[in-house]
Structure 1
Amino acid sequence: MSWLADYWWVILIILVGMVINGMKELSRLDHKRFLKNKPELPPHRDNNAEWDKEDDWPEKKP
């Protein structure tokens, strides 16, 4: 771990570079075009909808 104490500034430069590149990419994003061409979402469906039709317990035969 002594290398971390010696080269902490290299890690800091890498992290700052990643943040700057992320900001550049986000500034290139055209959110209005995305919202205009956004696909329609299907109506909400419960994940258990298929199981709700079935009974949890079989019917008892008399």
Structure 2
Amino acid sequence: MQWLANHWWIMLLIPVGMIVSAVKDLRRVNLKSYLTDKPELPPHRDNNAQWDDEDDWPKKK
């Protein structure tokens, strides 16, 4: 624990470096060109449709 008390600043450099790197990468992204070249999404497929048909409640007569 003495090492940690003496070198606490090293523990701060790692997250600060990660944040600086993330900001630099985000600045490189061109949002306008991404939105113009964005691929069209396929239509949504409902995966619940298969088991929605099964009704567990008793049927009224």
Tell me the TM-score normalized by structure 1: 0.67
Residue range with higher mean Cα deviation, 24-33 or 39-48: 39-48
Runs of 4+ in structure 1 off by over 3 angstroms are: 50-53
- 5 Å matches for 1:19-34? 19-34=19-34
CA distance in 1, matches of 2:4, 2:50: 55
1:18 is paired with a residue of what secondary structure?
Answer: helix
CA distance in 2, matches of 1:36, 1:43: 19
Counting matched residue pairs gives: 56
Sequence identity of aligned pairs in percent? Answer: 56
* Structure 1 residue runs without a partner (length 5+): 57-62
Aligned to 2:49: 49
- C-alpha distance after superposition, 1:21-43 (max 9, x if no partner): 11011001111111111111111
CA distance in 2, matches of 1:11, 1:22: 18
* Structure 2 residue runs without a partner (length 5+): 56-61
CA distance in 2, matches of 1:3, 1:47: 54
Tell me the TM-score normalized by structure 2: 0.68
Say whether 1:9 aligns with 2:13. no
How far off is 1:48 after superposition?
A: 2.0
1:47 is paired with a residue of what secondary structure?
Answer: coil
